[in-house]
Protein backbone atom coordinates (compact mmCIF):
# COMPACT_ATOMS: atom_id res chain seq x y z
CA UNK A 1 0.00 0.00 0.00
CA UNK A 2 1.86 3.01 -1.32
CA UNK A 3 -0.81 5.19 -2.92
CA UNK A 4 -0.89 7.98 -0.31
CA UNK A 5 2.55 7.65 1.27
CA UNK A 6 3.86 10.57 -0.79
CA UNK A 7 1.59 13.12 0.90
CA UNK A 8 3.73 15.68 2.71
CA UNK A 9 2.24 15.80 6.20
CA UNK A 10 4.12 17.96 8.70
CA UNK A 11 4.22 17.51 12.46
CA UNK A 12 2.20 19.86 14.68
CA UNK A 13 3.77 23.23 15.47
CA UNK A 14 4.97 22.83 19.05
CA UNK A 15 5.57 26.57 19.45
CA UNK A 16 1.98 27.41 18.48
CA UNK A 17 0.71 24.75 20.88
CA UNK A 18 2.78 26.16 23.76
CA UNK A 19 1.54 29.67 22.99
CA UNK A 20 -2.09 28.48 22.99
CA UNK A 21 -1.54 26.58 26.22
CA UNK A 22 0.05 29.64 27.85
CA UNK A 23 -2.84 31.79 26.68
CA UNK A 24 -5.33 29.46 28.35
CA UNK A 25 -3.31 29.51 31.57
CA UNK A 26 -3.22 33.31 31.56
CA UNK A 27 -7.02 33.63 31.58
CA UNK A 28 -8.61 34.31 34.94
CA UNK A 29 -10.15 30.90 35.57
CA UNK A 30 -9.06 27.63 37.16
CA UNK A 31 -6.26 26.07 35.11
CA UNK A 32 -7.58 23.51 32.62
CA UNK A 33 -11.16 24.09 33.72
CA UNK A 34 -12.60 23.84 30.19
CA UNK A 35 -11.03 20.42 29.89
CA UNK A 36 -11.28 18.87 26.44
CA UNK A 37 -12.31 22.18 24.88
CA UNK A 38 -8.99 23.70 25.91
CA UNK A 39 -7.19 20.67 24.50
CA UNK A 40 -9.07 21.03 21.20
CA UNK A 41 -8.04 24.68 20.85
CA UNK A 42 -4.39 23.82 21.57
CA UNK A 43 -4.58 21.00 19.02
CA UNK A 44 -6.00 23.33 16.36
CA UNK A 45 -3.21 25.83 17.06
CA UNK A 46 -0.61 23.12 16.55
CA UNK A 47 -2.25 22.01 13.31
CA UNK A 48 -2.63 25.48 11.79
CA UNK A 49 0.69 26.74 13.13
CA UNK A 50 -0.80 29.75 14.88
CA UNK A 51 -2.23 30.42 18.36
CA UNK A 52 -4.65 32.85 16.68
CA UNK A 53 -7.59 30.68 15.62
CA UNK A 54 -10.42 31.63 13.27
CA UNK A 55 -13.26 29.15 12.76
CA UNK A 56 -15.76 31.72 11.49
CA UNK A 57 -16.08 30.03 8.10
CA UNK A 58 -17.04 26.38 8.58
CA UNK A 59 -18.81 23.59 6.77
CA UNK A 60 -19.98 20.01 6.92
CA UNK A 61 -19.27 17.77 3.94
CA UNK A 62 -22.00 15.13 3.52
CA UNK A 63 -20.70 12.30 1.34
CA UNK A 64 -23.53 10.32 -0.25
CA UNK A 65 -23.41 6.86 -1.82
CA UNK A 66 -25.35 3.62 -2.11
CA UNK A 67 -24.22 0.22 -0.89
CA UNK A 68 -25.03 -3.02 -2.67
CA UNK A 69 -25.18 -4.96 0.59
CA UNK A 70 -28.60 -3.38 1.25
CA UNK A 71 -29.95 -6.21 -0.92
CA UNK A 72 -29.23 -8.55 2.00
CA UNK A 73 -31.80 -6.89 4.27
CA UNK A 74 -29.27 -5.36 6.67
CA UNK A 75 -31.15 -2.10 7.10
CA UNK A 76 -34.62 -1.08 8.19
CA UNK A 77 -34.82 1.28 5.20
CA UNK A 78 -34.50 0.51 1.52
CA UNK A 79 -31.75 1.87 -0.68
CA UNK A 80 -34.15 4.42 -2.17
CA UNK A 81 -33.91 6.43 1.06
CA UNK A 82 -30.31 7.44 0.30
CA UNK A 83 -31.26 9.62 -2.64
CA UNK A 84 -34.34 11.00 -0.89
CA UNK A 85 -32.33 12.30 2.08
CA UNK A 86 -29.48 13.45 -0.17
CA UNK A 87 -31.96 15.44 -2.26
CA UNK A 88 -33.31 17.07 0.89
CA UNK A 89 -29.76 17.98 1.93
CA UNK A 90 -29.17 19.58 -1.47
CA UNK A 91 -32.41 21.53 -1.06
CA UNK A 92 -31.43 22.66 2.43
CA UNK A 93 -34.27 20.90 4.28
CA UNK A 94 -32.68 17.76 5.73
CA UNK A 95 -31.84 17.21 9.42
CA UNK A 96 -28.25 18.31 8.91
CA UNK A 97 -29.29 21.57 7.22
CA UNK A 98 -31.64 22.48 10.05
CA UNK A 99 -28.93 21.85 12.65
CA UNK A 100 -26.42 23.89 10.67
CA UNK A 101 -28.64 26.96 10.21
CA UNK A 102 -28.51 28.46 13.73
CA UNK A 103 -24.73 28.11 13.99
CA UNK A 104 -23.80 29.34 10.47
CA UNK A 105 -22.35 26.11 9.14
CA UNK A 106 -22.42 25.58 5.37
CA UNK A 107 -23.68 22.17 4.25
CA UNK A 108 -21.99 20.66 1.19
CA UNK A 109 -23.63 17.42 -0.02
CA UNK A 110 -21.51 15.36 -2.43
CA UNK A 111 -22.71 12.52 -4.67
CA UNK A 112 -19.94 9.93 -4.47
CA UNK A 113 -22.00 7.19 -6.09
CA UNK A 114 -25.72 6.99 -5.49
CA UNK A 115 -27.95 4.73 -7.59
CA UNK A 116 -29.75 7.79 -8.91
CA UNK A 117 -28.47 11.25 -9.69
CA UNK A 118 -29.79 14.21 -7.72
CA UNK A 119 -30.46 17.07 -10.12
CA UNK A 120 -30.24 19.90 -7.60
CA UNK A 121 -27.95 22.97 -7.67
CA UNK A 122 -26.85 22.23 -4.11
CA UNK A 123 -25.50 18.76 -4.92
CA UNK A 124 -21.85 18.42 -5.89
CA UNK A 125 -21.29 15.64 -8.45
CA UNK A 126 -18.22 13.50 -7.76
CA UNK A 127 -19.99 10.29 -8.73
CA UNK A 128 -17.78 7.25 -9.29
CA UNK A 129 -20.46 4.64 -10.07
CA UNK A 130 -24.11 3.92 -9.34
CA UNK A 131 -23.38 2.43 -5.93
CA UNK A 132 -20.97 -0.26 -4.79
CA UNK A 133 -21.13 -4.03 -5.10
CA UNK A 134 -22.75 -6.33 -2.54
CA UNK A 135 -19.88 -7.12 -0.16
CA UNK A 136 -21.48 -10.44 0.83
CA UNK A 137 -20.91 -11.63 -2.73
CA UNK A 138 -17.70 -9.88 -3.75
CA UNK A 139 -15.71 -6.65 -3.41
CA UNK A 140 -17.48 -3.33 -2.97
CA UNK A 141 -15.23 -1.62 -5.51
CA UNK A 142 -11.90 -1.95 -7.24
CA UNK A 143 -8.74 -0.68 -5.60
CA UNK A 144 -8.53 1.98 -8.32
CA UNK A 145 -12.02 3.20 -7.46
CA UNK A 146 -11.11 3.37 -3.77
CA UNK A 147 -8.03 5.44 -4.59
CA UNK A 148 -10.12 7.73 -6.80
CA UNK A 149 -12.68 8.27 -4.03
CA UNK A 150 -9.94 9.01 -1.51
CA UNK A 151 -8.28 11.48 -3.85
CA UNK A 152 -11.61 13.26 -4.29
CA UNK A 153 -11.74 13.65 -0.50
CA UNK A 154 -8.17 15.00 -0.31
CA UNK A 155 -8.79 17.45 -3.16
CA UNK A 156 -12.07 18.62 -1.65
CA UNK A 157 -10.29 19.66 1.54
CA UNK A 158 -7.69 21.51 -0.51
CA UNK A 159 -10.43 23.41 -2.35
CA UNK A 160 -12.27 24.26 0.88
CA UNK A 161 -9.04 25.36 2.57
CA UNK A 162 -8.35 27.72 -0.34
CA UNK A 163 -11.90 29.07 0.04
CA UNK A 164 -11.10 30.02 3.63
CA UNK A 165 -12.86 27.29 5.61
CA UNK A 166 -11.24 26.96 9.03
CA UNK A 167 -12.88 23.72 10.11
CA UNK A 168 -14.66 20.88 8.28
CA UNK A 169 -17.16 18.48 9.84
CA UNK A 170 -17.69 15.07 8.24
CA UNK A 171 -21.06 13.60 7.39
CA UNK A 172 -22.48 10.87 5.19
CA UNK A 173 -25.68 9.51 3.74
CA UNK A 174 -25.88 5.95 2.54
CA UNK A 175 -28.34 3.27 3.63
CA UNK A 176 -26.36 0.19 4.65
CA UNK A 177 -23.16 2.01 5.58
CA UNK A 178 -23.14 0.85 9.20
CA UNK A 179 -22.81 -2.65 7.71
CA UNK A 180 -19.88 -1.66 5.49
CA UNK A 181 -18.29 0.25 8.38
CA UNK A 182 -18.64 -2.71 10.73
CA UNK A 183 -17.13 -5.03 8.14
CA UNK A 184 -14.12 -2.71 7.83
CA UNK A 185 -13.78 -2.42 11.60
CA UNK A 186 -13.90 -6.20 12.03
CA UNK A 187 -11.31 -6.76 9.31
CA UNK A 188 -8.90 -4.18 10.74
CA UNK A 189 -9.31 -5.00 14.44
CA UNK A 190 -9.86 -8.76 14.33
CA UNK A 191 -13.00 -8.42 16.45
CA UNK A 192 -15.85 -10.70 15.36
CA UNK A 193 -19.00 -9.17 13.82
CA UNK A 194 -21.20 -10.42 16.66
CA UNK A 195 -19.34 -8.08 19.01
CA UNK A 196 -19.30 -4.99 16.80
CA UNK A 197 -22.52 -5.10 14.79
CA UNK A 198 -25.10 -2.58 16.00
CA UNK A 199 -28.65 -1.50 15.14
CA UNK A 200 -27.72 1.23 12.67
CA UNK A 201 -30.88 3.14 11.87
CA UNK A 202 -32.96 0.99 14.21
CA UNK A 203 -32.66 -2.75 13.54
CA UNK A 204 -34.21 -5.06 16.16
CA UNK A 205 -32.02 -7.70 17.84
CA UNK A 206 -32.87 -10.33 15.24
CA UNK A 207 -31.90 -7.88 12.50
CA UNK A 208 -28.56 -7.17 14.18
CA UNK A 209 -27.83 -10.89 14.33
CA UNK A 210 -28.60 -11.21 10.62
CA UNK A 211 -26.39 -8.20 9.91
CA UNK A 212 -23.51 -9.88 11.75
CA UNK A 213 -23.93 -13.04 9.65
CA UNK A 214 -23.86 -10.99 6.44
CA UNK A 215 -20.65 -9.32 7.60
CA UNK A 216 -19.16 -12.72 8.43
CA UNK A 217 -19.93 -13.84 4.89
CA UNK A 218 -18.40 -10.65 3.45
CA UNK A 219 -15.18 -11.23 5.39
CA UNK A 220 -14.97 -14.84 4.18
CA UNK A 221 -15.80 -14.06 0.53
CA UNK A 222 -13.41 -11.10 0.20
CA UNK A 223 -10.54 -12.23 2.46
CA UNK A 224 -9.30 -8.65 3.05
CA UNK A 225 -5.68 -8.06 4.07
CA UNK A 226 -5.70 -6.37 7.52
CA UNK A 227 -2.16 -5.12 6.95
CA UNK A 228 -3.38 -3.12 3.94
CA UNK A 229 -6.18 -0.70 4.95
CA UNK A 230 -6.79 0.27 1.34
CA UNK A 231 -7.43 -3.35 0.43
CA UNK A 232 -9.93 -3.60 3.28
CA UNK A 233 -11.58 -0.32 2.29
CA UNK A 234 -11.93 -1.35 -1.37
CA UNK A 235 -13.31 -4.80 -0.63
CA UNK A 236 -15.67 -3.96 2.23
CA UNK A 237 -16.35 -0.22 2.24
CA UNK A 238 -18.30 2.35 0.30
CA UNK A 239 -17.51 5.38 -1.81
CA UNK A 240 -18.62 7.57 1.10
CA UNK A 241 -16.17 5.98 3.54
CA UNK A 242 -13.32 6.03 1.02
CA UNK A 243 -13.86 9.71 0.23
CA UNK A 244 -14.12 10.53 3.93
CA UNK A 245 -10.84 8.71 4.54
CA UNK A 246 -9.38 11.11 1.98
CA UNK A 247 -10.92 14.05 3.81
CA UNK A 248 -9.03 13.11 6.97
CA UNK A 249 -5.79 12.77 5.03
CA UNK A 250 -6.52 16.11 3.37
CA UNK A 251 -7.05 17.76 6.74
CA UNK A 252 -3.53 16.83 7.78
CA UNK A 253 -2.10 17.80 4.40
CA UNK A 254 -3.79 21.21 4.21
CA UNK A 255 -3.71 21.91 7.97
CA UNK A 256 -7.48 22.10 8.47
CA UNK A 257 -9.14 20.47 11.51
CA UNK A 258 -11.58 17.71 10.53
CA UNK A 259 -14.38 16.76 12.92
CA UNK A 260 -15.24 13.08 13.27
CA UNK A 261 -18.99 12.46 13.44
CA UNK A 262 -20.17 8.99 14.52
CA UNK A 263 -19.30 5.39 13.71
CA UNK A 264 -19.04 5.65 9.93
CA UNK A 265 -16.88 8.74 10.21
CA UNK A 266 -14.73 7.08 12.89
CA UNK A 267 -14.22 4.11 10.56
CA UNK A 268 -12.97 6.40 7.80
CA UNK A 269 -10.72 8.20 10.28
CA UNK A 270 -9.35 4.86 11.49
CA UNK A 271 -8.47 3.82 7.93
CA UNK A 272 -6.71 7.14 7.35
CA UNK A 273 -4.84 6.81 10.65
CA UNK A 274 -3.59 3.33 9.75
CA UNK A 275 -2.38 4.62 6.39
CA UNK A 276 -0.78 7.77 7.75
CA UNK A 277 -0.70 7.95 11.59
CA UNK A 278 0.29 11.65 11.39
CA UNK A 279 -3.19 12.60 10.18
CA UNK A 280 -4.53 12.01 13.70
CA UNK A 281 -3.36 15.54 14.57
CA UNK A 282 -6.02 16.95 12.24
CA UNK A 283 -8.85 14.95 13.85
CA UNK A 284 -11.31 16.14 16.48
CA UNK A 285 -13.73 13.57 17.92
CA UNK A 286 -17.12 15.19 18.40
CA UNK A 287 -19.40 12.73 20.18
CA UNK A 288 -19.65 9.24 21.58
CA UNK A 289 -21.84 7.42 19.08
CA UNK A 290 -24.48 4.99 20.30
CA UNK A 291 -23.02 2.44 17.86
CA UNK A 292 -20.89 0.07 19.92
CA UNK A 293 -17.96 -0.09 17.47
CA UNK A 294 -17.32 3.66 17.45
CA UNK A 295 -15.71 3.77 20.90
CA UNK A 296 -13.42 0.87 19.98
CA UNK A 297 -11.98 2.73 17.01
CA UNK A 298 -11.63 6.07 18.81
CA UNK A 299 -9.87 4.43 21.76
CA UNK A 300 -7.38 2.76 19.43
CA UNK A 301 -6.54 6.19 17.97
CA UNK A 302 -6.39 7.71 21.47
CA UNK A 303 -9.13 10.19 20.59
CA UNK A 304 -11.70 11.19 23.18
CA UNK A 305 -15.13 12.48 22.11
CA UNK A 306 -16.24 15.68 23.82
CA UNK A 307 -20.01 15.15 23.68
CA UNK A 308 -21.87 12.21 25.23
CA UNK A 309 -25.50 12.31 24.12
CA UNK A 310 -26.22 8.84 22.62
CA UNK A 311 -26.62 10.31 19.12
CA UNK A 312 -26.76 8.16 15.99
CA UNK A 313 -28.58 10.28 13.41
CA UNK A 314 -25.71 10.52 10.94
CA UNK A 315 -25.44 13.09 8.15
CA UNK A 316 -22.78 14.88 10.24
CA UNK A 317 -25.28 16.02 12.87
CA UNK A 318 -23.09 14.99 15.80
CA UNK A 319 -20.01 16.61 14.29
CA UNK A 320 -21.67 20.00 13.82
CA UNK A 321 -22.69 19.99 17.50
CA UNK A 322 -19.04 20.40 18.45
CA UNK A 323 -18.54 23.64 16.52
CA UNK A 324 -20.70 25.96 18.69
CA UNK A 325 -18.92 24.55 21.76
CA UNK A 326 -15.62 25.50 20.16
CA UNK A 327 -17.07 28.96 19.40
CA UNK A 328 -17.82 29.49 23.09
CA UNK A 329 -14.40 28.26 24.14
CA UNK A 330 -12.70 30.48 21.57
CA UNK A 331 -14.64 33.52 22.74
CA UNK A 332 -13.08 33.09 26.17
CA UNK A 333 -9.69 32.12 24.72
CA UNK A 334 -9.54 35.18 22.45
CA UNK A 335 -11.10 37.90 24.58
CA UNK A 336 -11.31 36.60 28.14
CA UNK A 337 -9.81 38.68 30.97
CA UNK A 338 -6.42 37.57 32.22
CA UNK A 339 -5.26 37.26 35.80
CA UNK A 340 -3.28 40.47 35.23
CA UNK A 341 -6.39 42.27 33.96
CA UNK A 342 -8.27 41.30 37.12
CA UNK A 343 -5.43 41.94 39.52
CA UNK A 344 -5.46 38.28 40.62
CA UNK A 345 -2.36 36.22 41.29
CA UNK A 346 -2.04 33.56 38.60
CA UNK A 347 -2.83 29.99 39.55
CA UNK A 348 0.20 27.74 39.66
CA UNK A 349 0.45 25.19 36.90
CA UNK A 350 1.59 21.76 38.09
CA UNK A 351 4.43 20.39 36.03
Catalytic residue IDs: 315
Give the Cβ contact number of residue 329 at 10 Å. Answer: 20
- Angle, alpha carbons 238-243-247 (nearest 5°): 145
305 neighbors 285 (Cβ within 8 angstroms): yes
Give the Cβ contact number of residue 95 at 10 Å. Answer: 16
118 neighbors 55 (Cβ within 8 angstroms): no
333 neighbors 33 (Cβ within 8 angstroms): no
- Angle, alpha carbons 281-285-286 (nearest 5°): 145
Residue 328: is it exposed, middle or buried by C-beta count within 10 angstroms (0-12/13-18/19+)?
Answer: exposed
Measured CA to CA, the distance from residue 51 to residue 333 in angstroms comes to 10
Measured CA to CA, the distance from residue 128 to residue 125 in angstroms comes to 9
Which segments of the chain are extended strands (E)? 58-65, 105-113, 124-125, 167-173, 258-260, 283-285
Q: How far is CA 78 from the centre of its chain?
A: 24
Taking CA atoms, 37 is separated from 85, 284, 310, in Å, by: 32, 10, 19
Closest CA to 127 of 239, 242, 241, 268: 239
DSSP single-letter state for residue 313: -
Measured CA to CA, the distance from residue 85 to residue 98 in angstroms comes to 13
DSSP single-letter state for residue 270: H
Amino acid sequence: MHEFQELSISAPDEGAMRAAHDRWNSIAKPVGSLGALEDAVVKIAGLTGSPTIDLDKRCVVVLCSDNGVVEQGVSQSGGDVTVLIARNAARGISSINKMCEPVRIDCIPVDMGMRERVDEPGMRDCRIAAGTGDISRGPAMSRAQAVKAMQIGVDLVGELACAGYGIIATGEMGIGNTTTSTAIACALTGIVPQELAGPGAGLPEEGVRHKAKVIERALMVNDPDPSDPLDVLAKLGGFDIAAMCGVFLGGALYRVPIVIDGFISATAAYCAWLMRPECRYAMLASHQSAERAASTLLERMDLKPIICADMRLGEGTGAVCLIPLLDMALSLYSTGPTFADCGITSYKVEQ
